[in-house]
Amino acid sequence: SLYSHKEIFLRELISNASDAIDKARYESLTDQSLAEGGEEWKVQLVADKEAGTLTVRDNGIGMTRDEAVEALGTIAHSGTKEFMKLLESREVKDNPDLIGQFGVGFYSAFMVADKVTVVTRKAGADAKHAVAWASDADGTYTLEDTEKATKGTDVILTLKEDAKDFLEEYELRKIVKQYSDFIEYPVVMDVTRSVPDPEDKEKSVEETKEETLNSRKAIWLKDKSEITEEEYNEFYKHVSHDFTDPARTIHYRAEGTVEFQALLYLPQKRPFDIFYQDYKVGPTLYVRRVQIMDHCEAMLPSYLRFVKGVVESSDLPLNVSREMLQDNRIVEVIRKNLTKKVLDTLAAMKKDDLEAYGTFYEEFGRILKEGIHHDFERKDTIADLLLFESTKTEAGKKITLAEYVGRMPEDQKEIYYITGADRAAAESSPYLEVFKEKDIEVLIMTDDFDDIIISGLGAYKEKEFQSAIKGDLDLGDEKKEEKKKEYGDLLELMKEELKDLVGEVRISGRLKDSAVCLVAGEHDLDPKMAKMFEAMGQDVPKGQRVLEVNPDHDLIARMKGLFAADKESGQLKEYVGLLYDQALLLEGVMPRDPVAFAKTLSTLMAEGVDAD
Ligand code: ADP
Ligand code: MG
C-alpha cells in the first residue's frame, strides 16, 4: 500500500525536518547559542539533475553520532524489531494496511532511492563533529566522521532510475502542496526561470530565486471552512506518524476564561505500541505558534491516549515546563474540555453510525474502558460507551449496557455477566446453565480486566452487576429451601471431606446439567484475574471457594441414597473427591492428581460397563 504512493517519502522527510526544527527552536528559547547565528528556520529541497540526487536539508537540531546510530541504524531503531516480527506474521500477510501503523518514516526514502546518505551535525556542536551515515538498503550502513559548516541535517537521496521525476520542480511543488502545505516552516527550493534580459528586451536570461512551496498556515488556527478533508488527513499523518487516515477529526476553538484551539484526531487503527509502558500520551502543545512539547500528557487522561493532535493556547507562558503543567489551572481547564469533547464525539459517533463506532471500539474499546477505573467523575459517561457481546447477540455483534437494561424482563433485578477467555468458552460454561434454561441474557466479557472494571462501575442505571461465576445466585427457585434441608446431611459430609479445599458446599442456584461447579465468593477476585495476577508474580489472596451442588442431578440423588444406607461409605468419600476434581476440570484447571483421577475413573467405568 505504501508503494502505490511512493511520493509520500517526501512528506516523511519534510515531517522529520520540521520535527527537528521544532526541537531546535524550542531549545534555543533557553539556550541562545543553539540558534547559531539565528538564520531563518527552513527546510530546503535541492534537486541536482546531473548527480541524480535530491537533498532534503534542515537547520534543525541535528544528531550526534550516537543518536544517528540509534535513530537510523536498522536494528536499534525503536519499533524495528516489532516491525520485522509483524511483517512475518499472518496478520500482515492478510492485511497489508497494517504496515502503515509503523513509523516507517525515514525508511520510506528507500522506495525511491538506491542509496541514502545522511550528513548531520548537532546544534551547538563543533563544525568538525559531524557524521555521515549511508546505506544502500542492503541491511547495513556505514558511519563516518565528517565536517559540516551549518547545524542540522542533509538527507541525500540517490534516486532510482524510475524515480528521477522527483527532481522536477513541478513534481516537487505538487507533492509539497498536497502533503506538506501546513508545515509551519518554509519549504524552499531554488527555482530557475527565463526572464526578459533587462539590457536587451529581445533576449532572455536565466534567473534563479529561492521560492517557498508551502502556504505555512497553521492548520489548527484556520477556520474550518477553509480546510479540506485531505488537508486535515495529511496533517494527521504528520502529527501522528500514522499512514492511515483518521476515523474522526475534532477541530474547535474554545473561548471563555481560557482560550485555546484544538485539532484532535481519533485514529482508525491501534498503534502496535499503545500498550507499552512508555507510550506517549497527549497532544502536541503550542504556545503562540511555538511548539513547546510534542506530547503534553497533562492535557488528556491516559485512557484517551489514542487521541492525536495539536492544542494551542496563548494563555500559557512560552517557557512552560512539564513540571509547571502538572498542577496548572489553565491546563486543568483545557484537559476537562478536551476530555469532554472526545467523549461527546464518541457518543455522537455511536448514535449516528453504530457500525463505525463498533469498528473504532474493536481497536480502542479496551483502552477507553480503563477510564471507568481511573476517571470516577465520568465513569457513567464512559459506561454508556461500552459494548459487549451477550448470550443473545450473534457472535461478533455487540450491544450497549442501555440496550441490555432496556430489554431486561421486569422481574430481573440485576445485570448478569460472565467473564471468560472467549465467547465459546463462556457459552459452554456450566455457570450459564440456569440462565439458558430461564432464557436470561448474560453479557459476555472477554478482556482480562473486565471484572475489575465492572466491580468499579458497580451499577448501571441503578441495576447492579452480578457475575454468573461468583457468589450465590438466586433466580427464584421456590424449592431451594426444601432442597437445602433434604440434602443438608450429604452437604455436611462433603464439606468435612473437602474442608482443606473449599470454604463451603451449598445447593446451587445456577446448575441444570452439571453435577457440581466451583464458584468464587461475591467479593473475591475473578478466577481469570487471579490467574493473571499470579502469572505476574503477585500474591493473590486465596479467597474461600465454594463448591456448588446440583440436587437435580441423578448422581447427587444416588449419592444421597448411598449416604442414607451407609454414612461411612468409603466409596462415597471417593466420589466426593472425584466431584471436586471434576469441578476443577470445568474451570479449565487440572485435577489435583491427574494420574489418580484417571485411575479411579477407569475403575468406576469398568464397574459400569455391562459385559453381557
Ligand atoms: P519518527 O519520525 O516517527 O520518529 P522516522 O523513521 O521518520 O520516525 O525517524 C526516525 C528518527 O530519526 C526520528 O525520530 C529522529 O530521531 C531521527 N531523524 C530523522 N530525520 C531527522 C532529521 N532531519 N533531523 C534530526 N533527526 C532526524
Ligand atoms: Mg518521521
pLDDT of residue 89: 65
For β-strands 152-159 and 113-121, DSSP reports them as antiparallel
The whole-angstrom separation of Cα 490 and Cα 512 is 19
Q: 11 C-alpha vs ligand 1 centroid, how far in Å? A: 12
Q: Does 386-467 match 219-355 at the fold level?
A: no
Q: 161 C-alpha vs ligand 2 centroid, how far in Å? A: 25
Half-sphere exposure at residue 594, Cβ-oriented, CA atoms within 13 angstroms: 3
Nearest residue to 183 via CA among 21, 2, 6: 21
Q: Mean pLDDT of residues grouped by 10 in the chain (612 residues)?
A: 76 92 88 80 96 97 92 58 61 54 74 95 95 88 95 97 95 92 93 87 89 92 93 93 92 93 96 86 88 90 97 85 84 96 97 95 95 94 97 93 95 91 83 89 91 91 91 74 87 92 89 88 73 75 82 91 88 91 87 93 85 58
Q: 239 C-alpha vs ligand 1 centroid, how far in Å? A: 13
Give the atom of ligand 1 at the shortest distance from the alpha carbon of 77.
10
3-state helix, strand, coil in the chain (%, to 5): 45, 20, 40
Q: Give me the phi and psi of 582, to 5 degrees please.
A: -60, -40
Consecutive H or E run containing 604:
helix 594-608
Whether 1 contacts 97, CB under 8 Å: yes
Residue 71 DSSP symbol: H
Q: 308 C-alpha vs ligand 2 centroid, how far in Å? A: 15
Q: Ligand 1: which residue has its CA nearest to atom 9?
A: 106
Q: Ligand 1: which residue has its CA nearest to atom 27?
A: 16
Q: Give the CATH number of domain 8-212.
A: 3.30.565.10
Close Cβ partners of 336 (under 8 Å, ≥ 6 residues apart): none
Coil, strand or helix at 207? strand
Q: 386 C-alpha vs ligand 1 centroid, how far in Å? A: 37
CATH 3.40.50.300 fits 480-611, yes or no: no
- What sign does the dihedral 146-147-152-158 (CA atoms) show? negative
The whole-angstrom separation of Cα 521 and Cα 527 is 10
pLDDT of residue 294: 85
Mutate to test the pocket of ligand 1, among 22, 74, 106 (most ligand atoms within 8 A of CB): 106
The whole-angstrom separation of Cα 520 and Cα 416 is 15
pLDDT of residue 265: 98
pLDDT of residue 88: 64
Q: 9 C-alpha vs ligand 2 centroid, how far in Å? A: 10
Domain ranges within the chain, ordered by starting residue? 8-212, 219-355, 386-467, 480-611
pLDDT of residue 212: 95
Q: 265 C-alpha vs ligand 1 centroid, how far in Å? A: 22
Whether 471 contacts 451, CB under 8 Å: no
pLDDT of residue 76: 38
Whether 553 contacts 579, CB under 8 Å: no
Q: 42 C-alpha vs ligand 1 centroid, how far in Å? A: 16
The whole-angstrom separation of Cα 328 and Cα 345 is 26
pLDDT of residue 97: 53
Q: 252 C-alpha vs ligand 2 centroid, how far in Å? A: 26
Give the atom of ligand 1 at the shortest distance from the alpha carbon of 67.
16
Give the atom of ligand 1 at the shortest distance from the alpha carbon of 12.
7
Give the atom of ligand 1 at the shortest distance from the alpha carbon of 106.
6
**Closest-approaching ligand to the CA atom of 22:** 1
pLDDT of residue 2: 57
Give the atom of ligand 1 at the shortest distance from the alpha carbon of 104.
6
Mutate to test the pocket of ligand 1, among 9, 14, 16 (most ligand atoms within 8 A of CB): 16
- CATH number belonging to the domain at 219-355, selected among 3.40.1280.10, 3.30.230.80, 1.20.1070.10, 3.40.50.20: 3.30.230.80
**Closest-approaching ligand to the CA atom of 185:** 1
The whole-angstrom separation of Cα 469 and Cα 527 is 9
pLDDT of residue 33: 84
**Closest-approaching ligand to the CA atom of 294:** 1
Mutate to test the pocket of ligand 1, among 15, 18, 19, 25 (most ligand atoms within 8 A of CB): 19
Residues with CB under 6 A from ligand 1: 12, 16-17, 20, 58, 60-63, 71-72, 103, 105-106, 153, 241
Q: 191 C-alpha vs ligand 2 centroid, how far in Å? A: 27
The whole-angstrom separation of Cα 502 and Cα 581 is 12
Q: What is the pLDDT of residues 468-513, one digit of tens each?
A: 888 777 776 677 788 888 898 999 999 999 998 898 899 988 888 8
Its CATH class, for the domain covering 386-467, is: alpha beta
Q: Ligand 1: which residue has its CA nearest to atom 16?
A: 71
Chain center to CA of 585: 34
Neighbours of 229 (CB within 10 A): 9
Q: Ligand 1: which residue has its CA nearest to atom 18?
A: 16
- For 178, the grid coordinates are 498536497
Mean pLDDT of the chain: 88
Neighbours of 112 (CB within 10 A): 22
Place of cell 507533492: 175
